[in-house]
A and B are shown apart, each in its own frame.
Chain A
Amino acid sequence: MISPAMLGHTMMIGHTMIGHTMLATWTLVAVAFFALAILVYVALRSRTRPVDLEKAVQAFRSLDIEAFRNLVDSNEEAFLRNNLPPRKFHEIKRQRAWAALIYAWEAGEAAAALARVGQAAQRSSDPQIAASGVQLSENAFRLRLQTIKACLHLLTEILLPDLQSRSLPPLVDQYERAADTLFRLGRFPSGVPGLVRTKS
């Protein structure tokens, strides 16, 4: 026969299990509805977001390459490291990395917009424009993924400034490459006043 104490213990275990089951169920339901909300959002956004050439062009032309280069410059970082107390250096390093991260993110957004431009050109009836569009979008995809890598490195640097210091040279190389990338884009001739011309 089960004693009242044991019965109470068994009931407690039962309640805990029911609680866990309920929690797991509602967690799954929440995950499912969150996913559904994202799907609906993506569907609605894709309906209302035409290819915006002007935005893509402006985003690229507004990139301040020199500012980004300064933010990720290894010499400047070494100078700061040698002349600032460690705590102050970490603080400034975080701020610089954060600024560079925002910059790289914007560059990535611009690359994504450029990819859409390339894909729009791909559907052109002119075979030469279509072929150029293929290459343009391919390169924009590569650039987008490059900026993602750079963002991840910068994020690590923000979170763990000391840890990053050990692998600084390759990281700086990466930044340098990213900076060169952006530098080249910044040098892109302005050409005609805008890519989007009215049809009138």
Chain B
Amino acid sequence: MLTLNWPRLLSLFLWISPHVLLGVLAVILCSRRSYREFPCFFAYVLYEIAGFILLFALYSASSVTAEQYAYAYYFTLLFSIALRFGVIEEVSRGLFRESVFLKVAARRSLRCVAGLLLVMGVLLAVYAPGNNSIKLVAGSVVNRGAAMVQCGLLLSLLLFSRFVGLSWRRPAFGIALGLGVLSSVDLAIFALRTEFSSAAWIPYLNWAITGTYFVCVSIWIAYLLAPELEPASLTVVSRDEVENWNTELQHVVRQ
């Protein structure tokens, strides 16, 4: 029988509970048919659940060594990172879907930002502080670089949309927000890990990561369940008003 002390109990709670919530999230995505709109996010959620089951099984099996577990962890992490990029692409595609102009202009700008961030991420992976042993290169350093790129992309997306007055749909905004929080905290924690690598610090850093994941999954659920806000002004704008503005702006832009 496992002997549980409070730190261990907290670790297990913070590790298991976000994945239980991910299960709830998968059910919500299915019941609302949101997987049609966010197929990559749905795949990410399912993958995270499957990854957790695999890792938990390995963790519980007494025959699995710590090294084997670490390799499995980094392997699942790499696929998770790739899927997160897919989710960001999905969210940005959905955001610019309704605007032909922004689809071209904004996405081109975002590609430039992505290229720049990728260079920074690679430089960070190569020159960043820390113990560059093979295992860490496969894990912490890659994740740190990827977290930086993802965080930068999501911030650019949020700030750009805010700058041009582009409205987000609530589920897409929630997904972007949750992923942004996750990647920014990942960046901080994986940077700190290289400095505070002693056994005394590891539980605290793990709690920070799993605790943040719990918060992020809660954000996703909250935004997916929240009703889409209908602007109160919708019913009070006359058709003539909107068309007048439209006509005038068309003159402006076409000259």
Query: A: which residues have CB within 8 A of B?
Result: 20-22, 24-25, 28-29, 31-33, 35-36, 38-40, 42-43, 45-46, 50-51, 53, 111-124, 126, 128-129, 132-146, 177, 180-181, 184-185, 188-189, 191-192, 195-199
B242 touches which of A115, A133, A180, A197 (Cβ 8 Å): A133
A121 touches which of B100, B129, B242 (Cβ 8 Å): B242
Are B101 and A138 touching (Cβ within 8 A)? yes
Tell me the complex Cα distance, A46–B251, Å.
31
A136 touches which of B151, B231, B249, B255 (Cβ 8 Å): B249
Q: Tell yes or no: B4 within 8 A of A by CB.
A: no
List the 3 closest pairs (A to B, CB-CB), nearest first. Answer: A112-B165, A115-B165, A139-B249
Tell me the complex Cα distance, A185–B155, Å.
32
Query: B: which residues have CB within 8 A of A?
Result: 98-102, 105, 124, 128-130, 144, 147-148, 151-152, 154-155, 158-159, 162-168, 173, 177, 180-181, 184-185, 187-188, 191-192, 194-195, 229-246, 248-253, 255
28 contacts between A and B (CB under 8 A): A20-B129, A22-B129, A24-B128, A25-B192, A28-B128, A29-B192, A31-B148, A35-B151, A35-B152, A39-B181, A39-B184, A43-B173, A43-B177, A50-B231, A112-B163, A112-B165, A116-B167, A117-B237, A118-B242, A120-B233, A123-B234, A139-B249, A142-B101, A184-B255, A185-B248, A189-B244, A195-B241, A199-B235
Are B252 and A143 touching (Cβ within 8 A)? yes
Which chain A residues border B232 with CB–CB below 8 Å? 50
B231 touches which of A40, A123, A140, A192 (Cβ 8 Å): A123
Which chain A residues border B158 with CB–CB below 8 Å? 38-39, 42
